[in-house]
Structure 1
Amino acid sequence: MLKGDMERVRRLESQSQALQAEIAALRGLHKKTECSMAMQFKGRMQDALLSLSGKLAAEETVWKMKAEVEEMEEDLKQQTQMNGISLTSCTVKTLHKDDRQVVQQYCLAGSCLDLGFQVDFQLSELFPAQVTISKTITKMDIVLDTDDMEISSFMSR
């Protein structure tokens, strides 16, 4: 092979390795994003699984988990009836992530007493050396599906 061909092969191999590393990082980021959404229900489910640890057959474990999910669904239904807020969608997109900070964009849509709304905001989580974690909401936008100027001006304030 010629010297130029060898150099080109090295460059292509280097680019290939960089792309493979980026793919691995993106897969890890995707997995962590999915995990962060599941953390809302982690505590109750984890307690149930720990109490089951090896004592119950797989079929009984599934039955208990199903009962737990049904209980959570009933709690959500009661909360919706009490406060009149019903969420129809929730999307989360990770904008930035490193060892010290994670910035995610949230978009919630739903209705409250037949008034449609959408809330967009960024959640920044800082992981300093201490145990406490700092969470900050920034860039919050609220869009209401109404022509009522009083409500719109109140929400914009």
Structure 2
Amino acid sequence: MQNELNHPYEDEIALLQEEIQELTRQYKEVQTEAAFLSSANFKQALQSYHGIHIPDQERMKDTACLMAQIEDCKNELQFLNNLSGLEFTKYLKKTEHKSDNQAIYKHRLVGQCQSLLFQLEFQTLESKSRDNASQSVIDLNIIMECREQSDLSKFVSRVEERRNLLLFFRSLSSFAEWCECRKNTFAKFKEKYPLAVGLPAGASAEYMTLRNPQNPGCELLILWRIHIDDEGSVIPILDLLPKIPEQAVALDKSGVVEGAASGFRNLLRVFGIHGSIERLIQSFCCLSDTDASV
């Protein structure tokens, strides 16, 4: 009976023992390196190289140069973060297995790209031989809040299957830029035409609505999806969905409502996203720049 009670804890105890052994091994390695770095021979080698003594003044000058280089590296890293939109806030690495020829490491990386937060947990296998060395991702798990972004959710699943970190970061950066572009565009038109433009789910959603103040029952929905294909290319896709009462559709003998979607796509080819939405608002809502909110 006592053995049955203790059985659930045996696995946990075994894991703790393995972790203690790993930490002990790492501690011994650090102690060995520290002993080497603090040895008299090593200090003497730093102070005198080929019989040349390094004065304290020159040593201080070299330290200042090194600090300046570190500061330059920090500035370059910040520049790259701003350029790509990627920012890493936390990184952990743990040795899972290590031998003479192979090593398996477990990584945990936390960061954000624009407004998108992500957490990556992955394992890498490093193999060494006489001729070459290789490194590969053998397991990948991506944690993101993308329930409202169906295209992003599908993309994340594909990346996990392929275990392709480069594809993930490259496409995520472009996807985040388009999300910011869509958000800013929706917010801009909402501010400019507050009576005509509606954002029921907020500026970060995939759609916005257009209402004609003179015809409250008529509404247009601009759907702006951000699609990621199998190769990781990010493509904005815009559609126009009319929400017109059936009575009004029946009176539309010229087929304006039926051809609204194709007409909007033609506008996109000629005027681009901003220009097309602007013209659509002005024509459908009977507004002009002079009617816009200041």
Q: TM-score range by the shorter chain?
A: 0.5 to 0.7
Residue 25 of structure 1: aligned partner: 25
Structure 1 residue 153, shift from structure 2 partner: 1.5
1:141–1:66 Cα change, 3 Å: same
Query: What does residue 125 of structure 1 align with?
Result: 126
Alpha-carbon RMSD across the aligned residues, in angstroms, is 2.8
Equivalences for residues 105-144 of structure 1 within 5 A: 105-128=106-129, 130-144=130-144
Normalising by the residue count of structure 1, what TM-score does the alignment of the two structures yield?
Answer: 0.65
CA shift at 1:150, angstroms?
2.1
For 1:19-98, list aligned pairs within 5 A.
25-28=25-28, 54=54, 57-98=58-99
Aligned to 2:214: none
CA distance in 2, matches of 1:31, 1:127: 26
Deviations, residues 130-149 of structure 1 (Å, cap 9, x unaligned): 23101111111111133322
Quick one: which amino acid aligns to residue 95 of structure 1?
Answer: E
Give 3-state SS (helix, strand or coil) of 2:65's partner: helix
In structure 2, the residue matched to 1:11 is none
CA separation of 1:69 and 1:22: change in aligned 2, threshold 3 A: closer
Fraction of identical pairs, as percent: 23
Q: Does 2:107 match 1:101?
A: no
Secondary structure, counterpart of 2:77 in structure 1? helix
Highest Rg: 1 or 2? 2
Secondary structure of residue in 1 paired with 2:142 = strand
Which fold has the larger relative contact order, with Cα–Cα distance below 8 Å and residues 6 or more apart in sequence?
1
User: Which amino acid counterpart does residue 75 of structure 1 have in structure 2?
Assistant: E
Q: How far is 1:25 from its partner?
A: 3.3
Q: Which amino acid aligns with 1:101?
A: Q
Q: Specify the code of the residue in structure 2 equivalent to 1:79.
A: L
Number of paired residues?
117
Residues 83-128 of structure 1: CA deviation (Å, up to 9, x unaligned):
0001000100010111111111111110011100011111111112
